[in-house]
Amino acid sequence: MPAFDIYYLGIAIVGLMGGVLGVVGYLTLGERKISAWIQDRVGPNRVGPGGLLQPLADGGKFFLKEEVIPDHVDRVFYLLAPAVAVITALMAIAVVPYGSTVPVPDPQASVEAFDASQSEYRSHYSFVLAPGLDVGVLYVFALGSLAVYGVILAGWSANNKYSLLGSLRSSAQIISYEIPLGLSVLGIFVMVGSLNLEKIIAWQQAHWWFVAIQPLAFILFLVSVYAECSRLPFDLPEAEQELVGGYHTEYSSMKLGLMLMAEYVHLVTTSFIVAIVFWGGWKFFGLESITGNPVWDAVICAGILISKMLALCILALLVRWTIPRFRFDQLMNIAWKVMLPLALANLVCVILVRQFTWPLWVLTICSVVLFFGAGYLSVISQGSITNPKRRVRKLPPGLPAGVTYAAR
C-alpha cells in the first residue's frame, strides 16, 4: 500500500462494508431460496425479477415495523446488545483480505535492509483494510469471542427466561467451540510461522493449499465455525421449538434485524477466513495471473476469493437445511471429547513434521489416519467414550419407601 491515504481508505471501507452488507442481504434471500428448493418449493419470487429485490423489501419491512421495548427490560443493555453484536461482527472484517495481497516482509538483518523491504512492500497495494497486521487471525478470533457479549447482553437484559436460556446456551457453546477452533488452525500457524493472513496466502502459493495438507484441521475448523456462527446443526441458542426465539425473543423491528444480520456477517467473515486459510485465498491453479495485466489480475483475484467465500457460504446454507440440530449434551460431547483431542493430535503431528522437516504429504496421511482412527475407536468402544451409559435406576412401582399419601 502506498502511504496512508484517508480518502483511499475511506473508499475501501465504504465499499467493503457495502459489499459485505449486500452479500448478507442476499444470503438471507439465498437461505430462503435454497430452503425452498430443497423442500421442492419455489421460494420468494414476487419482488423484482425472480425475487431479487426481496432483501430490500425485508429491510424496509424491518425499518417500518413498530419498535416494541418491553417495560421489564434493562434499557441500557437492551439497547446496547444489538449494537455490540453488529459492531464486533463488522470490525472483524478489517484484517480479512478480499483480493490479491502482498505478504509482509520478514524481519531483516539491518535497518537499511528493513527500510528497503518496507518501501518495496508499501509500493504494492494490498486488498485489506488493515494490511500487515501481524496478529491477523488472533484479532478475528478475539472479536469473534466478543460477539458472544452481544448475545449474553441481549439474553440477560431482556429479563425473560427463554432469552436467558438461549444466551446461556450460546455462551457455553461458543466458549466450548473456541478451543477446537483455535487448536485446529494452530497447526497452520506452526507451518507458516505467522498469524498474518497475507503471509498464510503467500505460504500456500509457495507450497500447496492447506485443505490438502491438513484436511482434518479443515473439517474441525469448519465445524467449529458453524458452531461459532450458531448455524444449524449448532443453532441451539435460538432453537425455536424449545426457546421461542432464543436470545432475541424480546427484540423487534430493526434491532431484531441487526441481531440476525450480525450472524450473517459472521458467516461471511468466517467463510473468508476458511477460504484464505485453507483454500489458498485468491490463488486458483494459475487463473489469478492469466491476463498479465495487473489491473485485470487484481479483479480476477478478488473474483476468485469472493467466489470461494460464496461457495463456502452456500455450503453452510445447504448443511443447515440438510441435518437436524444436535442435542445439547451431544454438542458438548463433540466439542470436548472428539474435536479437542483430534485437534491436539493433529497439532502434535504438525509439530513433528515441522521439527523433523518431513515432507508435507506425511501430514495428509496423518489427518486421514487420525480421522479414520477416531471412527474406529468409536466403533470398538461402542460410543462409550463420547456417550457413556448412565445407570438408570429402575424404581419399584408405587410410592418410594417411607412416603405415604397424606391422610384425607
Q: Please enumerate, as own/partner, the contacts of 332-335 that have beta carbons within 8 Å and a separation of 24 or more.
A: 332/172, 332/176, 333/386, 333/387, 334/223, 334/386, 335/173, 335/176, 335/177, 335/179, 335/180, 335/227
What is the torsional sign of CA 336, 341, 342, 344? positive
Residues in the chain, total: 408
Query: Of 139-147, 173-181, 261-269, 369-377, which segment contacts another protein by CB under 8 A?
Result: 369-377
* 373 Cβ neighbours under 8 A, 6+ residues apart: none
Q: Which is nearer to another protein, 98 or 218 (CB)?
A: 218
Pairwise CA distance, residues 233 & 407, whole Å: 51
Neighbours of 338 (CB within 10 A): 18
CB of 375 to another protein, least distance (A): 4
Using alpha carbons only, what angle is made at residue 286 by residues 283 and 291, rounded to the nearest 5 degrees?
A: 110
Q: Contact between 49 and another protein (CB under 8 A)?
A: no
Closest by Cα among 21, 242, 64, 237 to 147: 237
Q: Contact between 383 and another protein (CB under 8 A)?
A: yes
Contact pattern from residue 183 through residue 222 relative to another protein, giving x for each residue in contact according to CB under 8 A and a dash for the rest? ------------------------------------x---
Selected binder of another protein within 37, 296, 358, 361 (CB under 8 A): 37
Contact pattern from residue 288 through residue 327 relative to another protein, giving x for each residue in contact according to CB under 8 A and a dash for the rest? ------------------------------xx-xxx----
Q: Which is nearer to another protein, 131 or 233 (CB)?
A: 233
Contact 193, 109 (CB under 8 A): no
CB of 371 to another protein, least distance (A): 7
Selected binder of another protein within 6, 39, 109, 408 (CB under 8 A): 39
Q: Contact between 8 and another protein (CB under 8 A)?
A: no
Query: Of 24-32, 52-60, 96-104, 370-378, which segment contacts another protein by CB under 8 A?
Result: 370-378
DSSP, residue by residue, 8-52: HHHHHHHHHHHHHHHHHHHHHHHHHHHHHHHTT-----SSSGGGT
Return the residue matching grid coordinates 513433528.
352
Query: Of 56-64, 125-133, 201-209, 367-375, which segment contacts another protein by CB under 8 A?
Result: 367-375
Amino acid letter, 39 = Q
Q: Which is nearer to another protein, 10 or 373 (CB)?
A: 373
Selected binder of another protein within 5, 108, 376, 388 (CB under 8 A): 376
Q: Contact between 345 and another protein (CB under 8 A)?
A: no
The 8-class DSSP code of residue 93 comes to G
Where on the chain is the footprint of another protein (CB under 8 A)?
Answer: 34, 37-42, 219, 318-319, 321-323, 371-372, 375-376, 378-379, 382-383, 394, 396-397
